[in-house]
Amino acid sequence: MYRKKRITAVVVAAVLLAVLGGCVNKFNAAGYTKALLDVTYKNETEQYIELTGSTQEAADEIFTKSLDATMEDYEKLNLPDELEKNYRQLFGDLMKSVRYTVSEAKEDDNGNFTVDVSVEPITIFDDTYSQFQEKAKEYATQVSNDVMNGAEMPSEEEMQNHIYDIYYHILNEVLEQGLSYGEAEKVTVHINKGEGDIYEIPKEDMTALDDKMLSREVLQ
C-alpha cells in the first residue's frame, strides 16, 4: 500500500547547493548536514538559508519537491481530489515528525568528513498493517454480501478509492494520537571534497539515511 518514493535526487541537489557556502570559511560538515535534513524533511529553513545564502523561495522548494516525490505514486492512482489532498497532508506531517540526531563531524587527512546520524524510525506502517488488513477484509466481505443480495458490483476504481480511504483514516488516527518510534539506528554520512572545494554527500549515503526514517518491515 505504501510505496515510498526516493527523495534522494532532491537531497543530492540540495547538497550541491548547500556546500557552496563552505568554500569561503571552514566547512561545518555537521552543521550543513543537519541544516540540509531540517529543510528537506521538516521545512525548517532558517539555518539552511543562513549557512548557504539561499533564498527563502529556494529553501521552501526543497521540502515541496521532497513531498512531491513521496506523492508521485499516489497521484498516478487518480484518487479523488480530497483524498489525495489528505494523503499529501499526512505524508507532510510524517516527514516533519522524523527524528534524527547529527553528531560531530570527523575530518580525515584529505579534507573529507564523516558524520554519524542517529535515526529513530517512525513505526506507523508496521503498527497499523494488521488493522488495515482486517478492515480491508471486512470491506471485501461487505461488498460480497451486498452483491449476493442484489446490489451492483462496485467498479475497481470505487473499491480502490475506498481501500485507500480506509488506510488513510487508520494512519491519520495514529498520527493524531501520537507516533511511535523504533530503536535508534546509526547511518554514517560521508561528505567528500570535490573539485573547487565543493563538498558532496554520495547518493547511496542519502538513500541509506532516507530508508531509516520510516520503518516498513511489514511491507517488504
Provide the strand spans (E) within 39-194: 99-102, 106-107, 113-120, 185-193
93 vs 11, residue with greater confidence: 93
Say which residue the cell 484518487 belongs to. Answer: 79
- CA 156 from chain center: how many Å? 29
pLDDT tier for residue 25 given thresholds of 50, 70 and 90: low
pLDDT tier for residue 7 given thresholds of 50, 70 and 90: very low
User: How much is the pLDDT for 15?
Assistant: 55
User: How much is the pLDDT for 200?
Assistant: 84
Residues β-bridged to residue 189: 115
pLDDT tier for residue 3 given thresholds of 50, 70 and 90: very low
How large is the average pLDDT for residues 140-146? 95
- CA 82 from chain center: how many Å? 21
User: How much is the pLDDT for 22?
Assistant: 43
User: How much is the pLDDT for 16?
Assistant: 53
Average pLDDT, the chain: 87
Provide the strand spans (E) within the chain: 99-102, 106-107, 113-120, 185-193, 199-200
pLDDT, tens digit (0-9, with 9 covering 90-100), for 98-133: 999 999 999 999 889 999 999 999 999 999 999 999
- CA 199 from chain center: how many Å? 23
Closest CA to 88 of 102, 70, 104: 70
Grid coordinates belonging to 131: 488493522
User: How much is the pLDDT for 219?
Assistant: 60
